[in-house]
């Protein structure tokens, strides 16, 4: 009777949305009933499998990392059970009590379900059942969430995104206790909770669901996973291909300024197709890839288990598993993801989503032994078949180091929209971004870079302006400074022309363009180079940046060579900042500090920079040395005496202390048409406050000189303090690595094949 | 012949200094000759002993931490030997090549000497001999060091202090190779190198040597140690008691503004007597105590070995060994010393001086098992008898945790000049300073404090303004900002009256006074309290500060209660800063941020503070929450609506970026005569960028209220968010802990014995 009632209610709701839905509804009712009878014995089948449970039980007690994870989860869930169940009426934004509680509940249910299967202890099944029944009672009473800020409000949470998170986890819990429940209980839950829940985040919220966007991926996975458990083919279909027949306005935008659905694509497969490049680079960057990975992989695992015929892990040439390797490569030496675009610093491969990713990649991929060493660092595994495989691998001593090397990652669905190059040598890592816009989370920073040593930032990318889930800071959401500062070009280590951001910081324009690779070369262990061009950021201006990490026996550590060639059809003002972190140690130029700090400008991010010092640059090389976390660094930049140098500090016009007070040295060159910025950054020496000894605290470079700069070639001569001279020539129009080059510099002929010359 | 020649030369020099010296010289020549014949067989005897060497050799290979240290030292010294010997002509300040090389040579010789003894391998002895002979050849040609900045220039180094460091180490090396050298070689070294070296740092530099100061301690130890090795009683006498008959001008000052020799005391024993309180607190603070410890202890060890009849470790009731325990207690949870007065942050018990201290304390003290756990963390031991004892203790599993608890340390030679109290509860540590001036390294910060959680600074003490040994930053020496900022009262967490520092920042006045303990109470595990009074910092104004760490079951972590009662004979302006570290999360008051940053004042440290925000305080409680390194903190302060709140940032008028850009919230109260500042600081919750969950991010305090403030008592009522009320009453004029108190508040009688009431 309840079922009928619910269908009638649903019909009423649905009629308000669009008429096609009523046809679907009937299909669904049928398939669900079929499923219920067919699959009673097959559960669990989604993530844990019946066979997997048998294998795990057989090995328990003899698989250390699995046993330890299980013990920790058991402790955690036993404590939760002791606390009792709370399913409060939703009222809060992220960080508030009801938000946190419902978020916690989804995790707790998923874990309790797993414990029931592995430990075969009914107390966990009962706990899941009791909580589900409370949700069933609650959910059917719920209107839209009272907080109105989201473009797609949920019911349990203020945004459908969080509702979807919940269903992704709870589907797993439901699968685990499926056989424990009576058919009546299942019907009750499916009819009053799961089905309407899935409908709300999809059919009722197409602006959220029917997109290519990380939000939609969660939505698709949620609908698909509950569909797999319920055996509901219609839900599965909706998950894989989107809401059939529904077209959204292609010009509408979401909260972040991204288009809702520019191309009309939707569904899980489209969400794999679009954002991942063939190299497995996710267009929004690693922070959002990490967030999106969980639904991608957990739903894929479910599909693999329940619908093996879909061959989901082979889809788009195996891009899902490939993307995990890519994501791991987008982390620094400590495992922290590079904060490209909107990325919160400190997010790392220690996050639980990456435990999922690493375990699934190991189990369903090629059993890469390097993944085992990361799993060991994570110190926990999934409590499922893949976690068992990892635990056995570690136990059997198969673990090997995960070696990150220089890598070039293409961007765009077909890999033709620029990319991200990571140069690595010893402890030095340079991340060079020449990608496409990166969807609504993209920053306006073509040809920008950040630099790391041993996992510590040397030249930083600011990341996002947000304190995720800290409710007191703007509800834990994006702060307005994300737009006014973090996304602007001047917040990044690249060229800003005439104090305006790339593409005028307009998403519509930026999302049409991408930079283009000139060349990437990592064959020579000692010279790793990436070179790329951007011609659209400022119409009429071309920027070609070539960045190298060079290991030279006369230097203590590898150093960075940075050549930014700017060609324009008119004279401009160029600003070229270096966001160094740490304490100024020395400069070779005289600077003066103002009595009063004023903002450098009034818009495009400049309004957030205080000027702390000003100088006329040196006529040949301007040098700045600084000390950060016990290491010395020196920037040497080719300058002329018309160049200005500015010490800036972030924090002007920041009425709520949302920004970090961090420094930069900015090179400003006015009235220039074509110009070139050349610099080196050396990491050198160390300082310990315990021994109080300063080792190798001075630059090893005597002179940096541009000896040729033509349309075809740029040549830079590097003289060290002992007088040894090295020459780097880069090809500015590289067609093929095979081509022979020949160039005369100061009456000497240089001939080589390949993209650059260094000797 | 050489000896005679040298004596004649010396006489010539000495005649220029003062006539009494000629008498001494003869005594010395005699005693040295005696020694040379008497003690040939007894070496090594200073630090390593002949018996110790036997014991070590017998145990080698079976004492892990000792074996590992030995192996590391062997590797280090073998590498140095391979590089060859360099004894350059001295030209540089600290951090420069010749400085660093000579400093390195002294360490290398000391270690090579030890290796020779333990490994019985002549290559090490030869290396020491060759280097000593180079020094002999060099030293006799040297004029004063060419750099003129020091009040007492050395010959190898720019200051006698470093020359003394050198001799302290090289004495040990000489002792180790003594028997390896021929008598002729010894005579040559003693005549041309050691004796004139000892004379230069003492007789030729009385302004350095003849004082009670850490510099002099090094000088005394250097002279005494070489005297012990040479068997030169006159040198030993000079070391223990100072240069006989010499009186210095008691009004002269050194580079740091300290008096050269106010009381006319000198010599090693006076240097133990004066700066150490009976509790083992060293008047300059832990950073300098750490520096001074090495010569104190290494010379004491030598004295103990060669002159046991002096009973040096029992001197002044065993204060030397007691001071080691005190110094360890003056470190935070990570072992970093609290930066009281001039202290460079990051200096910790991992410094080699503390390896010496811990090992000597264990061996010559009561074999405290807690010291073994620190030795284990240090992961190395002295390669001598005491290091052997520690290594055996660790090997035999005797190690126990070194438990740091709340402790009150008196200051002053007799323990009557105020002190330092450290309150500890769980992970929270509060350092409350009510000491004397702290010699020339003292800061003007009576009744100031700093706060730590798990070794991280919560409310910081700025420390010194200096980059020790980083040559580019002012030669590695004190920067002018040390005086203009770091020493000023406003740089500290205490009251500044009328924008002037305590004692007007005048050393002559400050060094006459000290604060006075009201009471210290650590009997109750849950309530640890220190209370002290200062009546001289501002004539006519009395400050009584009572600080408590309270552990309350309704709070997640222990919190700080801070009561500063100010009584004055006139109306003043009081500034009360909180140097919090981290990001502002929330305030309960509205503030505005200026467009342009200007300095708060023009002198007494105020010229270094930019004003970043201003507010009118709340009429009852003003609250600030912040986030630092993944933890939340909240300051709740009793304010009235005439109070001003200022967000400040260090860094104004800092033309060479010598200061760190760190923040404070400053409470400003104008036109007040008698007033009281009451606040709590809660540590609560956590935030992880990996899980992105913010736990317990809000204050647990609803209201903080002063319910009584009389000459005798102050009572503060703390109401938590659940409405539970606690009352803290402190006795403002405490005579004895036994006394019975009785006070009526809001018609209720409170009766208790002891210094405070809490319930």
Beta-carbon contacts of residue B191 (< 8 Å; ≥ 6 apart): B2, B3, B6
Interface of A with B in 306-345 (CB under 8 A): 344-345
Catalytic residues of A: 288, 441
Residue B167's pLDDT band (cuts 50, 70, 90): very high
Instruction: Read off the tokens for B266.
Output: 């000198």
Confirm if B113 and B128 have CB atoms less than 8 A apart.
yes
* Pairwise CB contact (< 8 Å): A472 & B345: no
Interface of B with A in 94-153 (CB under 8 A): 95, 100
Q: What is the pLDDT of residue B274?
A: 86
Q: Which range, A91-95, B264-268, B284-288, is most confident?
A: B284-288
* Pairwise CB contact (< 8 Å): A584 & B656: yes
**Residue A597 with chain B: CB contacts under 8 Å:** 596-598, 610
Q: How many CA atoms lie within 13 A of A658 on its CB side?
A: 27
Taking the C-alpha atoms of residue B635 and residue B663, their distance in angstroms, rounded to an integer, is 14
Chain B contact present for A472, CB below 8 A: yes
| DSSP assigned state of B666 | E
Taking the C-alpha atoms of residue B654 and residue A597, their distance in angstroms, rounded to an integer, is 12
pLDDT tens-place string over residues A228-250: 999 999 999 999 999 998 877 77
Chain A contact present for B615, CB below 8 A: no
**Residue B345 with chain A: CB contacts under 8 Å:** 689
pLDDT tens-place string over residues A622-651: 999 999 999 999 999 999 999 999 999 999
Beta-carbon contacts of residue B302 (< 8 Å; ≥ 6 apart): B46, B47, B171, B224, B225, B228
* Pairwise CB contact (< 8 Å): B595 & A657: no
Chain B contact present for A354, CB below 8 A: no
Three-class SS of B520-538: EECCCCCEEEEEEEECCCC
Confirm if A420 and A409 have CB atoms less than 8 A apart.
yes
- Which of B95, B472, B691 faces A625 most closely, judged by CB atoms? B472
Q: Check whether A699 has a pLDDT greater than 60.
A: yes
**Residue A633 with chain B: CB contacts under 8 Å:** none
Nearest C-alpha neighbor of B451 from the set B368, B536, B338:
B338
Nearest C-alpha neighbor of B539 from the set B498, B593, B576:
B498
For chain A, which domains are there?
A: 407-758 (2.70.98.70)
pLDDT tens-place string over residues B40-91: 458 999 999 999 999 999 999 999 999 999 999 999 999 999 999 999 999 9
* Pairwise CB contact (< 8 Å): A690 & B467: no
Interface predicted TM-score (ipTM) over 0.85? yes
Instruction: Read off the tokens for B267.
Output: 């010599």
Taking the C-alpha atoms of residue A235 and residue A201, their distance in angstroms, rounded to an integer, is 12
Residue B24's pLDDT band (cuts 50, 70, 90): very low
Confirm if A353 and A361 have CB atoms less than 8 A apart.
no
Q: What is the pLDDT of residue B249?
A: 73
Chain A contact present for B12, CB below 8 A: no
Residue B265's pLDDT band (cuts 50, 70, 90): confident
- Which of A596, A656, A694 faces B597 most closely, judged by CB atoms? A596
Taking the C-alpha atoms of residue A587 and residue A581, their distance in angstroms, rounded to an integer, is 15
Taking the C-alpha atoms of residue A418 and residue A447, their distance in angstroms, rounded to an integer, is 10
3-state secondary structure of B305: helix
pLDDT tens-place string over residues B551-589: 999 999 999 999 999 999 999 999 999 999 999 999 999
Q: How many CA atoms lie within 13 A of B634 on its CB side?
A: 25
Location of structure tokens 């844990």: A48
**Residue of B441, B443, B514, B684 marked active site:** B441
Taking the C-alpha atoms of residue B598 and residue A228, their distance in angstroms, rounded to an integer, is 64
Q: Check whether A605 has a pLDDT greater than 60.
A: yes
Q: What is the pLDDT of residue A29?
A: 36
**Could you tell me whether strands A621-628 and A631-638 are parallel, antiparallel, or unpaired per DSSP bridges?**
antiparallel
| DSSP assigned state of A603 | S
* Lowest mean pLDDT, pick from A259-273, B163-177, B443-457, B700-714: A259-273
The enclosing H or E element of B575 equals: strand B572-578
Of residues B4 and B41, which shows the higher confidence score?
B41
**Residue A599 with chain B: CB contacts under 8 Å:** 595
Q: Check whether A297 has a pLDDT greater than 80.
A: yes
Average pLDDT, chain A: 93
Beta-carbon contacts of residue A242 (< 8 Å; ≥ 6 apart): A209, A210, A220, A265, A266, A267, A270
Count of C-beta atoms within a 10 Å radius of residue B674: 14
- Percent helix, strand, coil in chain A, to 5, is 40, 25, 35
Q: What is the pLDDT of residue A262?
A: 63
Taking the C-alpha atoms of residue A703 and residue A636, their distance in angstroms, rounded to an integer, is 8
Q: What is the pLDDT of residue A264?
A: 75
Rounded-to-10 torsion of CA A106, A109, A113, A116: 160
Confirm if B2 and B188 have CB atoms less than 8 A apart.
yes
Three-class SS of B714-748: EEEEEEECCCCEEEEEEECCCCCCCCEEEEEECCE
**Residue B470 with chain A: CB contacts under 8 Å:** 585, 627, 687, 694, 697
Mean pLDDT within A21-37:
36
Taking the C-alpha atoms of residue B583 and residue A650, their distance in angstroms, rounded to an integer, is 14
pLDDT tens-place string over residues B477-531: 999 999 999 999 999 999 999 999 999 999 999 999 999 999 999 999 999 999 9
Closest-CA distance, B96 to chain A, in angstroms, reads 10
Q: Check whether B7 has a pLDDT greater than 70.
A: no
| DSSP assigned state of A336 | B
Chain A contact present for B599, CB below 8 A: yes
Instruction: Read off the tokens for A313.
Output: 């892990």
- Distance between start and end Cα atoms, chain B: 83
Q: What is the pLDDT of residue B251?
A: 72
Average pLDDT, chain B: 93
């Amino acid at each position: 009777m309840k079922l009928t009632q619910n269908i009638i209610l649903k019909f009423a709701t649905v009629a308000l949305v669009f008429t096609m839905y009523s046809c679907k509804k009937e299909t669904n009712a049928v398939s669900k009933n079929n499923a219920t009878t067919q699959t009673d014995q097959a559960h669990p089948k989604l993530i844990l499998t019946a066979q997997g449970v048998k294998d795990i039980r057989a090995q328990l007690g003899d698989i250390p990392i699995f046993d330890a994870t299980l013990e920790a989860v058991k402790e955690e869930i036993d404590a939760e059970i002791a606390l009792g169940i709370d399913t409060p009426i939703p009222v809060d934004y992220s960080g508030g009590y009801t938000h946190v509680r419902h978020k916690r509940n989804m995790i707790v249910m998923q874990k309790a379900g797993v414990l029931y299967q592995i430990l075969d202890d009914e107390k966990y099944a009962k706990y899941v059942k009791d909580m589900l029944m409370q949700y069933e009672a609650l959910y059917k009473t719920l209107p839209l969430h009272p907080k109105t800020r989201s473009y797609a409000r949920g019911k349990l949470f203020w945004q459908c995104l969080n509702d979807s998170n919940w269903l992704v986890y709870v589907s797993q819990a439901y699968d685990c206790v499926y056989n424990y429940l009576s058919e009546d209980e299942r019907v009750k839950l499916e009819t009053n909770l799961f089905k309407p829940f899935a409908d709300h985040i999809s059919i009722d919220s197409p602006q959220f669901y029917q997109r290519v966007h990380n939000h939609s991926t969660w939505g698709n996975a949620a609908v698909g996973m509950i569909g797999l458990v319920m055996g509901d083919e219609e839900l599965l279909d909706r998950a894989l291909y989107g809401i059939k027949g529904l077209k959204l306005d292609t010009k509408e935008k979401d909260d972040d300024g991204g288009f809702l659905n520019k191309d009309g694509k939707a569904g899980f497969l489209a969400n794999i197709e679009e954002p991942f490049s063939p190299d497995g680079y996710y267009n929004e960057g690693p922070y959002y890839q990490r967030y999106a990975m969980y639904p991608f992989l957990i739903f894929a695992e479910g599909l693999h288990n329940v619908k093996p015929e879909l061959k989901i892990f082979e889809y788009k040439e195996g891009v899902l598993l490939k993307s995990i390797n890519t994501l791991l490569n987008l982390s620094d030496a400590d495992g922290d993801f590079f904060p490209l675009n909107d990325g919160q610093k400190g997010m790392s491969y220690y996050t639980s989503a990456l435990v999922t990713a690493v375990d699934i990649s190991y189990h369903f991929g090629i059993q890469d032994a390097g993944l085992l060493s990361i799993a060991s660092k994570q110190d926990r595994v999934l409590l499922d078949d893949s976690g068992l495989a990892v635990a056995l691998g570690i136990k059997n001593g198969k673990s090997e180091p995960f070696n990150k090397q220089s890598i070039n990652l293409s961007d765009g669905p077909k890999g033709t929209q620029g990319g991200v190059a990571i140069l690595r040598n010893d402890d030095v890592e340079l991340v060079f971004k020449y990608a496409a816009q990166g969807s609504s989370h993209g920053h306006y920073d073509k040809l920008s870079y950040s630099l790391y040593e041993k996992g510590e930032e040397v030249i930083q990318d600011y990341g996002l302006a947000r304190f995720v889930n800290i409710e007191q800071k703007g509800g834990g959401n994006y702060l307005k400074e994300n737009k006014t500062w973090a996304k602007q070009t001047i917040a990044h280590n690249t060229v800003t022309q005439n104090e305006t951001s790339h593409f005028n910081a307009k998403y519509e324009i930026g999302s049409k363009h991408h930079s283009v690779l000139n060349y990437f070369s990592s064959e020579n262990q000692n010279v790793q180079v990436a070179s790329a061009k951007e011609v659209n950021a400022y119409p009429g201006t071309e920027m070609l940046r070539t960045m190298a990490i060079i290991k030279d026996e006369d230097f203590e550590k590898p150093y960075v060579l940075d050549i930014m060639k700017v060609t324009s059809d008119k004279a401009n003002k160029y600003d070229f900042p270096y966001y160094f972190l740490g304490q100024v140690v020395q400069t070779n130029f005289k600077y003066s500090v103002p009595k009063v700090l004023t903002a450098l400008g009034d818009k495009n991010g400049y309004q957030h920079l205080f000027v702390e010092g000003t100088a006329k640059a040196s006529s040949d090389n301007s040098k700045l040395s600084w000390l950060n976390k016990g290491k010395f660094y020196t920037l040497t930049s080719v300058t002329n005496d018309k160049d200005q140098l500015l010490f800036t500090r972030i924090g002007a016009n920041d009425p709520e202390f949302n920004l970090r007070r961090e420094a930069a040295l900015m090179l400003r060159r006015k009235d220039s048409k074509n110009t070139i910025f050349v610099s080196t950054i050396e990491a050198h020496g160390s300082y310990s406050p315990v021994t109080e000894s300063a080792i190798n605290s001075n630059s090893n470079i005597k002179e940096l000189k541009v000896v040729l700069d033509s349309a075809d070639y740029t040549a830079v001569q590097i003289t060290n303090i002992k007088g040894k001279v090295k020459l780097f020539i880069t090809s500015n129009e590289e067609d093929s690595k095979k081509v022979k080059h020949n160039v005369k510099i100061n009456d000497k002929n240089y001939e080589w094949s390949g993209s650059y010359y260094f000797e």
